[in-house]
Amino acid sequence: MQLRAPAKINLSFRILGRRDDGFHEIETLMAPVSLCDELTLAATDDAGVVHFSCDDPSLPTGDDNLAVRAARLFFAATGIAGGVRIALRKRIPHGAGLGGGSSDAAAVLLGLHRMFGSGLETAALAALGAEIGSDVPFFLYRSACVCRGRGELVEPAPLPDTLPLLLLKPAFGVATPWAYGRWKGSKELPGIRYDAQSFGGAEFVNDLERPVFEKYVFLARLKMWLLAQPEVGAALLSGSGSTVLAVLRENGSADDLTRRAEAELDRELWSCACETLSGDAVS
């Protein structure tokens, strides 16, 4: 079975406060995009055994890997006496705020559900996903969604239009727990725009920009550089970063923008031209 695991972007991300359980209460609008990891799943006769391989040798292959944890949890929760072999082609970078590991886990849950006919409804799969990570339930709905709570309360909210995007990421990543942990005491940098931006029928704002930009000043500079470019309608840190997304205006050239960003900011920038996906395009 061949599956795609799409990356996500956060169009808006608001932190409402810290919860009694140690997590933060959030409200975010997330959308899947056309940048995808690729997974191949094959059923085996080894009951409960998960075989995992990946073309990225830096990725863990045991229970630290969310895809492996998802498979183990699926078999334990359903009581299905089967096993699986998972091969992952990794395209979504680590520490990027794009949800790659969570998306891989959701794809495994969906794939095993289809492969073995678990009979679970989407809500039940989402409850399993929430045990793995806060973003996993979102990816199970295969649509733009508003996510609340710690991210596990998901409400589909399809976007009215496809948004063309350019994703730019420097060589370093940002750890999500670190960003959350420094949110409350962080301060805005002078000359950096943090307020909500409206473009293409959507609003773009991210409360995690404040702590992340305070330490990783290059990301603040990248955002402001993008906002000054004629092709760009909005620019924002995605999640906790380190990816900064640019929403392109009609006929804006991602290739031209990438070349200028490399020449003027960082020749080692990772880049990806992509677009938001509707539910029908996510499989």
Q: Tell me the per-residue pLDDT of 36-84, one tens digit each, with 9 for 90 and over.
A: 999 999 999 888 899 999 999 989 888 899 999 999 999 999 999 989 9
Separation between Cα atoms, residue 129 and residue 124, nearest integer Å: 9
User: What type of residue is 207?
Assistant: D
Note the pLDDT tens digit of each residue in 36-46: 999 999 999 88
Catalytic residue among 8, 90, 169, 223: 8
Is 20 annotated in the active site?
Answer: no
- Could you count the other beta carbons within 10 Å of the beta carbon of residue 180? 18
DSSP character for 93?
P
Is 55 annotated in the active site?
Answer: no
What are the Cα distances from residue 125, in Å, to 13, 39, 48, 151, 257? 24, 18, 18, 15, 40
DSSP codes, 177-243 = HHHHHTTTT--PPTT---S-EEETTEEEEETTHHHHHHH-HHHHHHHHHHHTSTTEEEEEE-TTSS-
- Position 72 scores a pLDDT of 96
Place of tokens 């409350």: 184
Binding-site residues for ATP sit at 93-103
Binding-site residues sit at 93-103
Ranges of the chain whose pLDDT falls below 50: 281
Separation between Cα atoms, residue 30 and residue 222, nearest integer Å: 21
Q: Which residues pair with 14 in a beta bridge?
A: 27
- Position 63 scores a pLDDT of 87
Separation between Cα atoms, residue 254 and residue 56, nearest integer Å: 26
**Are 75 and 118 a contacting pair, CB within 8 Å?**
no
**Are 279 and 142 a contacting pair, CB within 8 Å?**
yes
Catalytic residue among 135, 169, 207, 223: 135
| Domains assigned to the chain | 2-156 (3.30.230.10), 164-281 (3.30.70.890)
Separation between Cα atoms, residue 144 and residue 247, nearest integer Å: 16
